[in-house]
Chain A
Amino acid sequence: MRTIKPQPWSSQLFDLTLMQLTNWRWSWRSMLITGTLAPLASLMALGTFSRHLGIETLSYILAGNLVMALMFENQGKVCSNFAFMQAMGMLNYFATLPLRRHLLILATVLSFLMLSLPSLAITLLLGSLFLQVPLHLHPLLLVVIPLAALPMAGIGALIGLSARSAEEAGSISLLVTFAAVAIGPVVIPPTRLPVWMNQLGNLSPATYAASALRQTLLGPVTERIILDFCVLIAFTALTFWLVGRKMEWRVG
C-alpha cells in the first residue's frame, strides 16, 4: 500500500516559509506605505515638535516608531494573511497536507518578519539621521528584532483566525495597534506619562519591545533587558499556544 511519508519538520518549515514569502507579491506596496512611510512621517512630525526636549525623548520617538514599523506591520500583515487563508479555504489546503500546524504559524510569522526588515532598516537609518540620535548597535539586536515582532504577529494571527471577515480582522487589528502604542512608554518617555498609564503599559508587549530596542540600538544595555526578553518570550509562547488552539483544522 502506498503511503506518503511526511518531510522532516525542518523541511516543512523551509517550504512553508518560502510559500509564505510569496506574499511579497501583494504586500510590498503596503509594506512601503505603512511599514516605511507612515513611521517616517510620524517620526518626523514628533521629532520636529520635540527636538528641544532632549535626547531621551528623541530616543523614545525613534524606538517607538521602530516598534510601530516592526511590531504592528507584522501584526497587521499576519492578521490579513490568516483572515484571507481562512476565508479562501487555504487553511483546508494546508490541513490536507502532512505537516504540523504550528510550523505554518511560525513560517507565516517568520516570512512577514523577513519581508518587513527592509522597511525597518530604512526607518532606522533615516530616523536616526533626521533626529540626530547616534546609533550604538549591540549584537543582541539580532535577537531583539524577531522577539519584538513575534508576540504581536501572534496576536495578529489570533485576530485573523477569530474574526468573521477580513474587514473585521483589519478593524480589530488597527484598534489593537492604537491601544498598544497609546498605553505605556513606547513613543513617549515614562516621565511624561501619568502613573496609571505607565502601570497599564506593563501589560503590553510593546513596552518591553520598545525598551529592548532602545537598549540595543542606542545603548546602554542594562539588566532591564533580561526582563524585556522574558516578557517577550512569555507573550510569544502564550500567543502561539492560543493560535495553535484556535487554528483547529477541523470544523466542530
Chain B
Amino acid sequence: MLVYDIEHLTKTYPGQAQPVNCEISLQIQAGEIFGMLGDNGAGKSTLVKQMANLVQSSSGKILLFDQLVGKDPLLVPRHVGYMPQDSLALNNLTLGEALYFTAHLRGLSRAAARQERDRLLETWQIQDLRHKTSRQLSGGQKRLLQLAVAMAGSPPVLILDEPTNDLDPVRRRQVWEILRRENHELGTTIIFITHDALEAEKIIQRVGILHAGKLVALGKPVDLKSGIDQMLRLELFFSPEEPPLLPDGLTPHVLDTGRWLVYIERLRAGEVLNSIDLDRVEDFRLYSATLEDLYLYYAHN
C-alpha cells in the first residue's frame, strides 16, 4: 500500500527567488523505513514539513493514503506523528503530562493514554524525567521527549526530522534500535532526515538524497552503491612516526594523523592485505561503500 505519493513538488517561500525544493517526485510504501540525506539547506526539512502539512506547497501534489494533503486539515494528524528538527518547548507541561495528553488527543481512552505514557517512559528509559518540564531538560533529553511524543498513540506513520541530533552515541544507537522495533512489531512507516548516515544505514531500507533542492538519488542503498563504484575502503590506523608501506599503485588519503583511507579493487583485496606490514598497523577496517559515501558522491558530483 502506498503511504505517500508525491508528484512534482516545489516550494518557493514568499519573497525568495529560488525554490527551496524543486520538482520532487517520490513514493513511500507502507511499512517502509525511508531515510533522507542531504546538505544543510538542501530542502529536506521543508519537504517533510510539506508532507506533514505544515508548509503549503507552491506546486505539485502530495497524496497521503490516496487523499490530497491540505484538503482535509485532519488527514495528516489522523495518520502521522511528526517530530520537528527544532527543540520543541511544550509550554509548561511535564514530560509525563505531554505524553499523556498527546496520547489522549490521538484518540486513546484516558486509561489507555496513561498506559501509553508509562510504556513510552519505559521504552525511552526516561522515567526519572517524568515530572520535569521541557524547559528543565537538556538538548538530548528534549530530543527524546520529542521522539516519545511523536510516537504517542502509535500513529501508522512517523516523520522524524533529525531524530539523533544532540544525542550521545549510546542514545543514538537506542533511537535506531527502537525505531527498528517500532517498524518491525507495528509495521509503522518511518520517514526520517539524518546526517548520521553511518548509524542510520543499519535500518534504512530506501534512501532519497537531496542536493540544492533536488532529489538527486532515490533507491535501495545497495542498488545505489553498486552504481557509484566497486571499490573497497581500507582504513588504516597507525603510529604517525611509523606509517605502513603500501603496495605500488595505491595512494593513501589522509583522514587524520595516523589514519589513512585507501581505495582498493575488490579482486586485489587479499593481495593488498597480505602485502601490508601489519606490524606497523595498530588497527584496520575493510568495508564497501557506505551510505555516507553514497551521500558524499551524490551531494558533490
Contact = CB atoms under 8 A, between A and B. Distances in A.
B54 interface: yes
Interface string A3-23: 111110001100100111011
Interface string A209-252: 00000000000000000000000000000000000000001111
A93 B88 contact: yes
Interface residues of B, number: 44
A55 B61 CA distance: 67
A90 B55 contact: no
A5 B106 CA distance: 7
B49 interface: yes
B76 to A, nearest CB: 7
B275 to A, nearest CB: 56
Contacts of A12: 105
Q: Main SS of the interface on chain B?
A: loop
B77 A23 contact: no
A245 to B, nearest CB: 14
B90 interface: yes
Nearest to B46: A251
Given A22-B91, A26-B92, A252-B56, A96 B76 contact: yes
Given A7-B105, A19-B93, A97 B77 contact: yes
Contacts of A24: 92
A93 B73 contact: no
Nearest to A18: B101
A23 B92 contact: yes
Interface string B91-104: 11110010001101
Contacts of B65: 1
B77 A3 contact: no
Contact of B89 (A3, A15, A25, A89): A89
A19 B91 contact: yes
Contacts of A96: 52, 54, 76-77, 80-82
Contacts of A92: 54, 82, 84, 88
Nearest to B70: A250
B106 A97 contact: yes
Interface string B248-282: 00000000000000000000000000000000000
Contacts of B105: 6-7, 12, 15, 97-99
Interface in A86-107: 88-90, 92-93, 95-99
Interface of A: 1-7, 11-12, 15, 18-20, 22-26, 81, 84-85, 88-90, 92-93, 95-99, 249-252
23 contacts: A4-B78, A6-B78, A7-B105, A7-B107, A22-B92, A22-B93, A22-B94, A85-B91, A88-B89, A90-B89, A92-B84, A93-B90, A95-B53, A95-B77, A96-B54, A96-B77, A96-B81, A98-B74, A98-B78, A98-B106, A249-B53, A251-B49, A251-B56
